[in-house]
Chains A and B, each alone.
Chain A
Amino acid sequence: GAVVSQHPSRVICKSGTSVKIECRSLDFQATTMFWYRQFPKKSLMLMATSNEGSKATYEQGVEKDKFLINHASLTLSTLTVTSAHPEDSSFYICSARDFGYSYEQYFGPGTRLTVT
């Protein structure tokens, strides 16, 4: 089956620093990847759509200068949380859509970010 990995799985950083999260599709090519944020006991909220070779599309209310997304290859997208603050602490999840299928997204295991 389609496998998506995320690295790191957990990260703790100090307020004001930047953190990069990687999302990789391991056994398929993904022209499109998605980044979600999930608050405790809540559902997933789409932050942005990452397209290989072009700029990401951000959802309303998501600051693109704070959450930098780069999709440099068909198997890798990165999310950089810049100048992190405690309110950025959350569970970040990426997903990738298999180029050959229209509907299904496969999700990574998530990254728990804690900003102190």
Chain B
Amino acid sequence: TQLLEQSPQFLSIQEGENLTVYCNSSSVFSSLQWYRQEPGEGPVLLVTVVTGGEVKKLKRLTFQFGDARKDSSLHITAAQPGDTGLYLCAGGNEKLTFGTGTRLTIIP
């Protein structure tokens, strides 16, 4: 069974600060996705990383896929209240295995 552990589980920081969320596994994934989910809604896809060592940027969000394709990170610069939500990494091809989730709260 492929498991994806995210850390931290909870994170509450002030607006304007930077943060990094980690997604780790002992298994190799052909691709990893990052999603953000708000209460009462479905997850929204943020990015897909496919190549080991790949870095993708989405405005203030930077995603990195580990060289061995076992881990990934999400870095947010100058966090804003709109970044608040549940961040989920997910890996797999035919079917996704979701990470344990990181609940992020940005305090205005």
Contact = CB atoms under 8 A, between A and B. Distances in A.
A108 B42 contact: yes
A25 interface: no
Given A43-B100, A44-B98, A107 B42 contact: yes
Interface residues of A, number: 23
Interface string A84-116: 000000010101000000111111111010000
B88 A44 contact: yes
A67 interface: no
A105 B33 CA distance: 9
Interface string B58-94: 0000000000000000000000000000001000011
A34 B42 contact: no
A110 B42 contact: yes
Contacts of A44: 43, 88, 98
A49 interface: yes
A26 to B, nearest CB: 14
A18 B92 CA distance: 32
A104 to B, nearest CB: 6
Interface string B32-63: 01010000111111001010000000000000
Contacts of B48: 103-104
A42 B101 contact: yes
B43 A49 contact: no
Given A102-B93, A103-B48, A43 B42 contact: no
A13 interface: no
Given A104-B45, A107-B43, A34 B103 contact: no
Interface of B: 30-31, 33, 35, 40-45, 48, 50, 88, 93-101, 103
Given A43-B98, A103-B93, A104-B48, 15 more contacts: A43-B100, A44-B88, A45-B98, A91-B40, A95-B42, A95-B96, A103-B33, A103-B48, A104-B45, A105-B33, A105-B45, A107-B35, A107-B43, A109-B41, A109-B42
